[in-house]
């Protein structure tokens, strides 16, 4: 993921996902699952502005199923609610990270 503030985004996404941060020599950061398995996230610095809705974005599942509590937790970490044209009956909640990159919390598995 291209980001403007690698430190801020690494802190946000590592808290969201429970991942550990491995900082690179060229200003990037790689986020890894603490147990060593699963997908990783690579944050790269960029000066390019974000324009429009992301074509790709993560869809996250709330492990314990308490969607409302997870939305509150992510908002407290710095996420914001995002409008990408939802009508209100979708099976997901759209949020954005501190730099405006959208991601979804799925309402069910």
Query: For the whole model, what pTM was predicted?
Result: 0.88
Question: Which helix (H) or strand (E) is 79 found in, with range?
Answer: none
Specify the pLDDT at position 50: 84
Mean pLDDT, consecutive 10-residue segments, the chain of 109 residues?
95 96 95 90 93 83 90 97 89 94 88
The CATH class for the domain spanning 1-47 reads alpha beta
Structure tokens at 60: 């996250």
Locate all alpha helices (DSSP H) within the chain, ordered by sequence.
6-17, 67-77
| Whether 13 contacts 19, CB under 8 Å | yes
Q: What is the CATH number of domain 56-109?
A: 3.10.180.10
pLDDT on residue 45: 96
Q: In angstroms, rounded to a whole number, what is the distance separating the alpha carbons of residues 52 and 102? A: 10
Q: Where are the domains of the chain?
A: 1-47, 56-109
pLDDT value of position 88:
85
SS3 96: strand
């Amino acid at each position: 993921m291209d980001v403007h503030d690698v430190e801020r985004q690494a802190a946000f996404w590592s808290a969201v996902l429970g991942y550990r941060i491995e900082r690179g020599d060229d200003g990037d950061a790689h986020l890894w699952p603490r147990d060593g398995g699963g997908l990783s996230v690579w944050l790269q610095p960029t000066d390019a502005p974000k324009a429009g809705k992301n074509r790709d974005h993560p869809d996250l599942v709330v492990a314990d199923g308490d969607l409302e509590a997870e939305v509150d937790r992510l908002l407290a970490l710095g996420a914001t609610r995002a409008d990408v044209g939802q009508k209100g009956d979708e099976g997901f909640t759209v949020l954005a990270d501190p730099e405006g990159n959208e991601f979804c919390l799925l309402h069910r598995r």
